[in-house]
Structure 1
Amino acid sequence: MEYTVHKALIFQISEPLAKLITNGMAESEEGCARLCDVDEETFSRFVEWIYTKVYSSSRPIEEKNVPGTHAEDICSSEVPIEDGPGPGPESHCSDDDNFAFKASRKRTKKLQKKARRIAEEDEMMQEDSRRDSSPTIVGRFQIYHDDESDQGLSAEYAERFLIHARLYVFADQYGIKELMHLAATRLESSLSDFGHFYHRAVDVVQVARYVFENTPSRLEYQDELRHVVVYSITMNFEELMQSEEMGGLMNEGGDLVNAVCSKVAQRISHLRKQHSINLWGR
C-alpha cells in the first residue's frame, strides 16, 4: 500500500526519513521509498499520527477496504505545516510537495483476523461504557471475557499491546521521539488497565519478548518501552510467577530477566525499608 505525505512534515519529524527524500538515490528521484521493515498497519497509524498527533488502536487497517492515501486527500485536510508554505484554500498540492512511502511487510491473514476481532471487542466495550459508566461495567467486562474463554475463543490481548510496541519500534528506528513517548505511554496505560495477569501471562510474556528483541540496550539510560514492560511485570510479579509462561521466561535469562530481577530486588528492598520504618514508628 502506498502513502503520500507532505515532504515538509517529514522534514519536521524525522531526519532519517527526510534523507530518503533528499539523498539523490533512486527513491528521491522517483519520489517514492519502500520501507521493508514495517508492516502496513503500523505505517498507516504513523501517517495518521503525522496529521492528527494521535493514532487509532481500535480500528486496524484492512487492505481490502482501505485505499492508499493520495496527495489530493492530504491536500483537502486542514492540518497546518510549520515552516512550510502549506496549501491555501484555493491551492492544490503539486508532486514536488509530496513524497510516497510503501510499507512492504504485510500482516498475515491470521493476524488480520485477530485485529478485526480486537476492533469488534473495543467497539462493544465502548458501547457498554456509553450505556453505563458505573463501576459495574468492570463486572460486565469480566463476565464477557470469561464467557468468551469458556467458548475457546481468545481476546488476543498481546495484539492490543503489540500495536503500541510496533509503533514505538518504528518511531525509534527513524528518530521520532514524540511518537515514541506517545506509544510507550499508551502501552503503559493498556497494561495498567489490563488486570488478570495470571490468566494472560502468555500475552504479557509475548509483548515483553518483542520489546526486548526489538529495542536497543541503552547503557546511558533505560529505554522507555523497556521500562514500561519491566515495571508492569515487577508490579504483578507474584501473580505472573504462578504461570508456566513466566516461569519459562525467567529460566531463559538475558536482558529482560536481568532487568526484571533488578527491579524486583529494588521493590523488595523498598518494602522492607517501609516495613522497618513502620515498626520503629510504633
Structure 2
Amino acid sequence: MASNNTGVSFEKFIQSKLFTFVIGKEKREFKIHAEAITSISQPLCKLIENGMLESVQEKVTWEDVEVADFARFAEYAYRYDYTSPSWVLDDSVATSDVMSRRNAKALAALEPLRTKSTGPQASVQQRMVQTMPQFGQSSGPPPQTLQSRLLNRAYLNGAEPAAGMLSGFQHQSNVGVRQNFAPVLLAHAWLYTFACLRWIEPLKRLALHKLHQTLLDFTPYPERLVDVVELVRYAYDNGEDRKDNGTVEELRALVTEYVASQVSVFKKDKHFVQLLEEGQEFAVDLVRAVDGDMLR
C-alpha cells in the first residue's frame, strides 16, 4: 500500500478525522486531516489525541499565530515542503536617478555570497523544467528506429502542475532596493522556531536550508540591510541562549555567520549599529565569528 514519507498509508492519511485550527486575530479556520499532523509531531499528536477539551471538540485556537505562517505549516503537513514566502514592495525607498546611480556603483561590492563562492547554481528542479520537451515531442535527436522513438518519447513539460509546485518551493533572490525581504526571512525563521517547539526535526532542517539559500543569494543593498537586522532580532528574541559549553543555537549561528561575512557592509548601517549598542548576546557571538572562532 502506498505511503507518505512518514510511513503512514495514504488511505489512513486521507480518511482520518478533520481537526480544526482557529488561527490569528482573524480567527481563520483550517480544517486539516488529523493524521497529517499527528504523523509529524509528537506534541501535536498529544494535543489531538489526549482526550482533553481540544481533543474532544476537535478544535484548538491559536491567536498568536499569523495566518500566512500557519498556512505554510499546513502545506508542509501535506506536501513535506512549503511555498517560499513573497517579498513586499517598499514604497518608502526612493528610486531617484541619483540613488539608482549610487546603488549601481556599489553593486560590485554587494554580490550575493553564492556568486562569490560557487557561481550561479540552478536547482535540479529548475534544470529539469528547462530541459523538459514539449508535450508529445521526443527528446534528443530525431529517432532512427521504432525502439529509439519509443525510448525517447516524453509527455511531461514545464507547465505541469508538479513542475509549478516545485518551482514555488524554490527560494527567491532580491534584485532591487524596493524589495522588502524581511517577510521572506522571518517566515523561514518562524517555521524553524515553530518546528523546534513542536519537535518536527525535518521541518527544522528544511526551514534552515531555505533560509540559508535565501541569504546566500541575498544582495545586501544599503537600503535593505534592515531586513537582515530584523531577522537577527527575531533569532535572538526567540531562539535558545548559548549553552554552557559555548554552543550557539542553529538559527542564531546562521544569521551571525552571515552578518560576519558581510560585516564591512553592515557596520555602516544605523539599524545594525543600534542593534550592537543594545548589547545583546548577538554582539558577543558576532565578535567571535569575525575573529574566526567557529560557532560550535
TM class, shorter-chain normalised? 0.5 to 0.7
Pair 1:19 & 2:43 matched: no
Aligned counterpart, 2:261: 235
> What letter is aligned with 2:269?
S
Aligned counterpart, 1:138: none
Pair 1:170 & 2:212 matched: no
CA shift, 1:171, in A, is 1.2
CA shift, 1:58, in A, is 4.2
SS of alignment partner, residue 194 of structure 1? coil
Report the Cα distance in structure 1 between the residues aligned to 2:49 and 2:220, rounded to whole angstroms: 49
Aligned counterpart, 1:181: 205
CA shift, 1:255, in A, is 1.4
CA shift, 1:24, in A, is 2.0
Q: Identity rate of aligned residues, in percent?
A: 31
CA shift, 1:242, in A, is 1.4
Report the Cα distance in structure 1 between the residues aligned to 2:31 and 2:250, rounded to whole angstroms: 30
CA shift, 1:47, in A, is 0.8
Report the Cα distance in structure 2 between the residues aligned to 1:198 and 1:29, rounded to whole angstroms: 53
Question: Is the 2:37–2:45 Cα contact (8 Å) retained in structure 1?
Answer: yes
> What letter is aligned with 1:5?
I
Pair 1:211 & 2:238 matched: no
Detail structure 1 runs of 4+ shifted over 6 Å in the superposition: none
Root-mean-square deviation over aligned CA pairs: 2.8
> What letter is aligned with 1:204?
V
Pair 1:52 & 2:58 matched: no
> What letter is aligned with 2:214?
S
Report the Cα distance in structure 2 between the residues aligned to 1:168 and 1:191, rounded to whole angstroms: 15
Report the Cα distance in structure 2 between the residues aligned to 1:208 and 1:185, rounded to whole angstroms: 17
* Structure ranking higher on relative contact order (CA contacts 8 Å, 6+ apart): 1
User: In structure 2, do the counterparts of structure 1 residues 165 and 25 end up closer, same or farther at CA, with 3 Å as the change threshold?
Assistant: same
Aligned counterpart, 1:198: 222
Report the Cα distance in structure 1 between the residues aligned to 2:78 and 2:248, rounded to whole angstroms: 29
CA shift, 1:59, in A, is 5.9
The alignment's TM-score, normalised by the length of structure 1, stands at: 0.60
CA shift, 1:265, in A, is 1.4
Q: What are the superposed Cα offsets for residues 229-275 of structure 1, whole Å, 9 maximum, x if unpaired?
A: 0111010011110111211111111111111111111269xxxxxxx
SS of alignment partner, residue 200 of structure 1? helix
Aligned counterpart, 1:71: none
Question: Is the 2:86–2:183 Cα contact (8 Å) retained in structure 1?
Answer: no
Question: Is the 2:85–2:187 Cα contact (8 Å) retained in structure 1?
Answer: no
Report the Cα distance in structure 1 between the residues aligned to 2:272 and 2:85, rounded to whole angstroms: 28
CA shift, 1:48, in A, is 0.5
The answer to which structure has the higher helix fraction is 1
Task: Provide structure 1 residue ranges, at least 5 long, that are not aligned to the other structure.
Answer: 61-113, 118-128, 134-140, 269-282
Q: What are the superposed Cα offsets for residues 10-50 of structure 1, whole Å, 9 maximum, x if unpaired?
A: 22211111111122221111111112332111111011011
The alignment's TM-score, normalised by the length of structure 2, stands at: 0.57
Count of residues in Structure 1 that have an aligned counterpart in Structure 2: 187
Question: Is the 2:185–2:211 Cα contact (8 Å) retained in structure 1?
Answer: yes
> What letter is aligned with 2:82?
Y
SS of alignment partner, residue 199 of structure 1? helix
